[in-house]
Structure 1
Amino acid sequence: MTALILFGSFVFFLLLTVPIGISLGLASLVTIIFAEVVSIQYLAQSLVQSTDSFPLMAVPFFILAGEIMGKGGISERLFKLANVFVGNLTGGFAIAAVLTCMFFAAISGSGPATVAAVGGIMIPAMVSYGYDKKFATAVVVAAGSLGIIIPPSIPMVIYGVSGSVSIGDMFIAGILPGILIAVVMMIWSYIYSKKKGYKGTGEKFTIKRALHAINDAKWAIFIPVLILGGIYGGIFTPTEAAVVAVVYAAIISTFVYKEITIKNFPTVIKDAALTSATILIIIGTANAFGRILTLEQIPKMVADMLLGISSNPLVIMLFLIILLLFVGMVMDTVAAIIILVPILLPIAISIGVDPIHFGIIMIVNLAIGFITPPVGVNLFVGSGISGIRMETLARATLPFFIAMILSLAIITIIPGISLYLIEVFR
């Protein structure tokens, strides 16, 4: 009965278009009042205690770093670098768009931020070279999902905290899966461009152009090296790395690239604060929601049900993937991780899946939700940039959805793609 009240009220508030963080809090409040599973003070305590975490401090700092980088001219320089190497190929602009999103993902840690930063430059540029606007937008929208797969990644921080898993290991584990997904997207972009006759820029690759582009983008390229190298070199923790990223981005954007002035910083900080507040509210209310689930032993019930259906690990993983794909379509990524990790991670471990590997599977699943209606946030951002209706854009991204599903299957079947680099760095 308690579970029915909890989930029923949650769905009811979502249908009323109440924001997901508030819906989680209201559903928890309704359940506390009617079922009396915990004291009503617990909801207020959860909002404070769940965010009182040193690892979680990385989230607002990575968000601020992403905001600074997005407005600091970094995405434009990354695009020029990618364009030098692949711009002359068939569909070179589309491939360069994927590469730029991959580079920027290694800086921002956010899918929507990647789409916003890269899309404003890439979509008009591709259209001016004769690319169909729907395809141009779909490329950026899909590749923007790499923002939470390639480290640093905000959802990876949330998963690490929720599952008591090393955030540094999660960051390293996301590198090869992110590259795999990007390569599959580039292959499809090439095939589609060849079919449609989208030619390259006509500018031949030269060492001189490459060196000039590398020199111009060197400060941007160094950011992921600084973050991951510092974490795995034992110089600083992921939270401290986020602070270093903020300071580094501020210095580069203000004094080197000179795209941001001191007067711009209040606006940048305000935008980052609004995004951080939204995420932290979701973390607090989702934690209360998850606590009620745990008290009612719902995770154990779900585990028993799945293990009762089959003892075959592949069958159980298939069920988990289908569930995560559905959840990614209808729920915010942060809320989904906080609520589902306590339920699904024990199941995955019980069938022999490494918690790091399962974390990557979960993140990739939820990243696919960025390009699937009704919640697909990348679709909303891409639609806002290009002016294309979201329904039309969702159809245009379908081939990339299939490409990501194929990549997910490979990542799931071959754990070494996620775990190999961890062994190398240890």
Structure 2
Amino acid sequence: MSIALFSGLIIAIVLIVMLLAGVPIAVSLGISSILAILPTLNFGATVLTATQRIFSGISIFTLLAIPFFILAGNIMNKGGIAIRLINFAKVLTGRVPGSLAHTNAVANMLFGAISGSGVAAASAMGSIIGPVEKEEGYDDNFAAAVNVATAPTGLLIPPSNVLITYSLVSGGTSVAALFMGGYIPGILWGAACMAVAFFYAKKHGYKSSVRLTFKEAMIVVWQAVPSLLLIIIVIGGIIAGVFTATEGSAIAVAYSLILSLFIYRTIDLKELVHILIDSAKMTGIIIFLVGASNIMAWVMTFTGIPEAISSALLGISKSPVVILLIINIFLLFVGTFMDITPAVLIFTPIFLPICQSFGMSALQFGIMITYNLCIGTITPPVGNILFVGVKVAKVKLEGVIKPLLSYYAVIFAVLMLVTFIPAVSTWLPGLAGY
């Protein structure tokens, strides 16, 4: 048995067993990696190298963007912007059939992008729009399905911590290019879901009874402008090269603090302390995860696991289409039980070289793997956005799955566009000079 196969089996078996036992993902990654390399290196050298890999993995300037964006997102989550974005989305969707469902979708894209969290979007939008949909006669399961299906769009539409993480693990792919690359796939995801909602709403006669005058609409837009400016200032500055992603994340914190403390006045200093603590906890989890995954990346490189997997896949078929379909199916399966961040950290070093051998750019692969794993957040058995959306809507999982099937179909169709049409993810970055 080759070293690569032996080490790969140890990692896979130990990792699965520890995850099933409820061991934290970062700890599972570190232990499984160390056990996989012990037959090759002595214990002292293994522990010393693993420690060095943790510190080298987290000693990267770009990584500072993650805690800042987490903090900015948490401030905005508590800062009362959800209702303003919902009202703004109502202005955009007008009175088309199923306008509240479309409002939910647009608001999820906006709020998810600002907060950087699909779970936060599903929770906030579901709790606010859900009761209104119920009053207007919308089916509870349909309303919950729309909310769940569109909540992950904010993980693709920047700023996105997942794309920052991918930038690090892929060897320095431009964060600005990844941010630009996420726009079209994220918007296509949302638009495809809105198309499904439109036909369902038209069939069942869902119409909005609310009509805003021009003056009321302008007031709503004006109230939402400060929140929307966050996206324009931060993302625009990063793309234009005015500041880096890390500097942009710090600006996002400062802006969101000013917005929530002095303009909207929706949080106070006491609540800010709790926000800082929650952000620190979340940051600690992610940073430790990045460090532990760096051990696994070293072990896989040292033992030749990526090359072995590449040879195995190419042994199945030489066709790029077949290989890419296999990779997508595998990632879809992985996404159903593993969170996005660890999955990106684990599988990027394995699959990126294979896709690059077919001529796929690191940028396109980054959007593809992120999009793919986002689907797992709304898929049983572990999809966290799915279960949050179901809980907020106070419906049963089995009732939501049936209307979700149509959304899965169109979301998967867009995944195929992202996979096989490079321009979907590379056109905008190319237009911006990346």
- Normalized against structure 2, the TM-score is what? 0.93
1:395 Cα offset (Å): 4.1
Q: Classify the secondary structure of the residue corresponding to 2:46.
A: coil
d(CA) in 2 for partners of 1:345, 1:329: 20
1:74 Cα offset (Å): 0.9
d(CA) in 2 for partners of 1:397, 1:21: 32
Q: Classify the secondary structure of the residue corresponding to 1:422.
A: helix
8 Å contact kept, 1:85–1:210: no
Match for residue 151 of structure 1? 158
Q: Classify the secondary structure of the residue corresponding to 2:377.
A: helix
Aligned in 2, Cα 1:45/1:127: closer, same or farther, shift over 3 Å?
farther
Match for residue 14 of structure 2? 9
**Which of these residues, 356, 372, 375, is aligned with residue 363 of structure 2?**
356
> Amino acid of the residue matched to residue 350 of structure 1?
S
Aligned in 2, Cα 1:35/1:15: closer, same or farther, shift over 3 Å?
farther
8 Å contact kept, 2:339–2:377: no
Match for residue 96 of structure 1? 103
Match runs of 1:253-402 below 5 Å: 253-402=260-409
**Which of these residues, 194, 202, 214, is aligned with residue 207 of structure 1?**
214
d(CA) in 2 for partners of 1:202, 1:381: 28
Match for residue 21 of structure 1? 26
d(CA) in 1 for partners of 2:392, 2:54: 34
Give the aligned CA root-mean-square deviation in angstroms. 1.7
Q: Does 1:64 find its partner at 2:64?
A: no
Match for residue 122 of structure 2? 115
1:305 Cα offset (Å): 1.6
Return 176-185 or 311-320, whichever deviates more. 311-320
1:174 Cα offset (Å): 0.7
1:40 Cα offset (Å): 1.7
Aligned in 2, Cα 1:136/1:55: closer, same or farther, shift over 3 Å?
same
d(CA) in 1 for partners of 2:341, 2:70: 14
d(CA) in 1 for partners of 2:130, 2:388: 12
Aligned in 2, Cα 1:36/1:120: closer, same or farther, shift over 3 Å?
farther
d(CA) in 2 for partners of 1:392, 1:267: 36
Match runs of 1:195-234 below 5 Å: 195-203=203-211, 206-234=213-241
Please, which runs of 5 or more residues in structure 2 have no aligned partner?
1-5
d(CA) in 1 for partners of 2:164, 2:76: 20
Match for residue 3 of structure 2? none
d(CA) in 2 for partners of 1:114, 1:46: 35
Q: Does 1:166 find its partner at 2:174?
A: yes
> Amino acid of the residue matched to residue 418 of structure 2?
I
Q: Does 1:193 find its partner at 2:196?
A: no
1:35 Cα offset (Å): 5.3
Identical aligned residues as a percent: 37
8 Å contact kept, 2:113–2:159: yes
1:320 Cα offset (Å): 1.5
1:251 Cα offset (Å): 0.5
